[in-house]
């Protein structure tokens, strides 16, 4: 079998595997602050704060209200709910982009 470089294949995954299920919000805080959470995940984000050693640097899928909250708070200071350190929003959680 040989492999040829530069071959582009246009594949519609939905035709192959069927409709994909909703991606659930993976925020550990989902449901604790109802105004920040609603339904399926729409964005990827990364936990950044050093106090959360088990989850620091972990990429998770989050719902739109949660993503919008952290986008709006990226440059604002707040208190980390775990260690109580005063940090910028993006130092706690950074929205990386939409799920495509």
The string of pLDDT tens digits covering residues 15-28 is 776 666 778 888 77
State how far the Cα of 66 lies from the Cα of 46, in Å rounded to an integer. 12
Q: pTM of the predicted model, to two decimals?
A: 0.66
The answer to whether the beta carbons of residues 35 and 65 sit under 8 Å apart is yes
Confidence grade of residue 58 (pLDDT, cut at 50, 70, 90): confident
**Dihedral sign, Cα of residue 65, residue 43, residue 100, residue 14:** negative
Tens of pLDDT, residue by residue over 20-57, are 677 888 877 666 766 666 778 999 999 888 886 666 78
| Burial of residue 67 (number of CB atoms within 10 Å: 0-12, 13-18, 19+) | buried
């Amino acid at each position: 079998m040989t492999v040829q470089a530069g071959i582009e294949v246009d594949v519609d995954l939905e035709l192959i595997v069927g409709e994909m299920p909703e991606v659930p919000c993976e925020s550990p805080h989902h449901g604790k602050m109802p105004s920040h959470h609603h339904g399926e995940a729409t964005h990827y984000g990364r936990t950044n704060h050093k106090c959360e050693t088990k989850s620091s640097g972990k990429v998770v899928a989050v719902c739109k209200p949660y993503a919008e909250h952290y986008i709006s708070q990226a440059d604002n200071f707040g208190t980390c709910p775990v260690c109580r350190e005063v940090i910028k929003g993006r130092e706690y959680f950074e929205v990386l982009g939409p799920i495509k």
